[in-house]
Amino acid sequence: MPNIGGPGQKKMMVMAGVVDSIILYAASVWAGAMKVKLHRDRVIRTQRRMLLRIAHAYRPVSTNAASVIAGVIPIDLKIEERAMIRRLVQTGTNMKEAKVRARGTAHDTWQQRWQNYGRSAWTKRIIPNIRIWADRSKGEVTYQICQALTGHGNFGSYLKRIGKWEQVGCLYCDRVDTVEHTVFSCGRWEALRAEMSETAGQEVTPENWIGLATRTERDWRGIMGAVEKIMTLKEQDLRRREREAE
């Protein structure tokens, strides 16, 4: 499925849920197989393909980061969740309580794994608490928003790293072009940042960005809408410069 022009994140989540249901069939019985790296890697690879599409992410984005951005619990933790539910029910816990306890344990393990993960420093910085992000009831991640969440996109430092640009400078100023510079510092987007701050009622920074955007539907539209516009306009400017250089 395409990152641009295809189904939205919620529709992709529905389709991914169908695949999850197939993978997780009778998982409480065969969960022990996840102790074997070969089997664990197979189901993780299958889920990774879905996570990248749900998050509208580039292929180099790590599975851990894609899982967080998509708001989808890693498949190996879902399998262990099913096994835990079965164990709790067998020891006399009612099904409802067993599901709540197992889901809480899965979220706690996921959060601990994210904190210990050594990569995706930018994504970890802006989304330190997975639950606040994953449990939000509003807002879908688009291709443009995903670039801002991962730092993988039309940023000079990233484009040079993957061999598409020869320099790391910003299109509009003499600063090193990173995702943080583009969204939070570059003078070219000062007006759009002002719109973000007006919506939030305070200055939007990398540290409070996600918390503010996930408060209400209005906050998401105002803050993430401005970020999406920044990334869209920047891509248009980049393509125009590339055509002029030909």
Model confidence pLDDT, tens digit, residues 206-240? 999 999 999 999 999 999 999 999 999 999 998 88
- In which domain, by residue range, is 171 found? 136-245
Asked whether residue 98 falls in the same domain as residue 183, the answer is no
Number of domains into which the chain is organized: 2
Distance CA 91, CA 131 (A): 29
Judge whether 1 lies within some domain.
no
Q: With H, G, I as helix, E, B as strand and everything else as coil, classify residue 176.
A: strand
Mean pLDDT of 145-164: 93
The pLDDT-based confidence of 9 (bands split at 50, 70, 90) is: confident
% the chain with pLDDT above 90: 82
- Model confidence pLDDT, tens digit, residues 76-85: 999 999 999 9
Judge whether 110 lies within some domain.
yes
Neighbours of 141 (CB within 10 A): 21
Judge whether 99 lies within some domain.
yes
How many angstroms from the chain centroid is the CA of residue 97? 29
Judge whether 174 lies within some domain.
yes
Mean pLDDT of 80-103: 96
Judge whether 109 lies within some domain.
yes
Distance CA 97, CA 231 (A): 44
